Amino acid sequence: MDRDLKRAVVQAARAMFSEGLVVGSAGNVSARAAGEGAMHITPTRVPYLDLTPEHIVTVTFEGDPIEGEGLPSSESLMHGAIYAARPDVGSVVHAHPVHASAMAVRREAIPAFVDEQVVYLGGAVEVSTYAPAASEELAENAVAALGERRAVLLANHGTLTVGRDPGDALEVTRLSERLAQIWLAASYRAGANLLPSTIVEAEVELYRMMQNEGSA
C-alpha cells in the first residue's frame, strides 16, 4: 500500500512539473503514511523527470528520517503540521503556479466568486501571514490560514493544497491556479462580482457535508 502511495506521490510531482506549476526542483508533494505520525515526501535536489518511488523519503511530521536515502524536502515541517492539524488530509501539494503566486505576492485572498470554488475548496483561498520558506513559523501560519478549507496562498511564495490523495491534492492546485487566473482577469477593472453571501454559506455547508462523507 505504501508502495502505491509513493508511486502516486511521484505521479503527482511529475505532473506538477510537466504542467508548469513549478520550475526546476521547486515545490513538493507528500502523502500521509500508513504508520502513526509519518509521511512520504519528495526529496530535495532530485529532478522531477528522474524521480522514482525509490527516491521518496519517509519522515516523521517533524521531518526526522524514518526510511529512504534522499534528503527530505525542506518544506517537510509545513507538510507535517498540516497532517497533524487535519486528520482528514491524505496528501499535501506545495507549488508555485504563476497566477496564484501573483495573488500571494499581492497578499490578497482569492475571494469566493464561483460556485465550484466554495463546494470543492471550502470558500475563499486565504493568504497566510508571511514567514520565510522552510521555517516553523511558515508551517504554523499555513495551518492557521488553511483552516478547514483545501487551499491556501503562502505570502510572497506560492500555494499549498490538500486532498484525499496526491492526485486529488494536485487537482486542487490546478483549480486554485485557474481561479487566480480568472480573478486577476476579472478584477483588472472595477466591477468584478462576488457570489452572494447566502449562496456562499449554503455552499460551505455542502462542502462540509462532502468532507465528512469523504473521511467517514
| Residues annotated as catalytic (active site), given as ranges | 75
| Residue 115 vs 126, nearer CB to Zn ion | 126
Q: How far is the CB of 77 from Zn ion (least distance, A)?
A: 13
- Number of other residues whose CB lies within 10 A of the CB of residue 22: 20
| Residue 119 vs 134, nearer CB to Zn ion | 134
List binders of Zn ion among 71-130 (CB under 5 A): none
Q: What gap in Å lies between CA 22 and CA 25, rounded to an integer?
A: 8
| Residue 73 vs 118, nearer CB to Zn ion | 73
List the alpha helices (DSSP H) in 165-196: 166-186
Q: How far is the CB of 161 from Zn ion (least distance, A)?
A: 13
| Residue 118 vs 142, nearer CB to Zn ion | 142
Please give the backbone phi and psi of residue 158, each rounded to the nearest 5 degrees, phi first. 180, -145
CB 53 within 8 A of CB 1: no
Q: How far is the CB of 27 from Zn ion (least distance, A)?
A: 6
Q: What gap in Å lies between CA 70 and CA 54, rounded to an integer?
A: 9
Q: Where are the beta strands (DSSP E) in the chain?
A: 28-32, 38-41, 57-60, 65-67, 91-95, 126-128, 151-154, 158-163
Q: How far is the CB of 86 from Zn ion (least distance, A)?
A: 20
| Residue 80 vs 158, nearer CB to Zn ion | 158
Per-residue contact string for residues 141-180; x = within reach of Zn ion by CB under 5 A: -----------------x----------------------
CB 151 within 8 A of CB 160: yes
Using CB under 5 A, count the residues that bind Zn ion.
1
In the bound state, the residue with its beta carbon closest to Zn ion is 158
118, 108, 96, 95: which is closest to 183 by C-alpha?
A: 108
List binders of Zn ion among 26-65 (CB under 5 A): none
Q: What gap in Å lies between CA 195 and CA 3, rounded to an integer?
A: 42
Q: How far is the CB of 87 from Zn ion (least distance, A)?
A: 25
Q: Is the dihedral of CA 71, 64, 56, 143 positive or negative?
A: negative
Residues of this chain that interact with Zn ion (CB under 5 A) are: 158
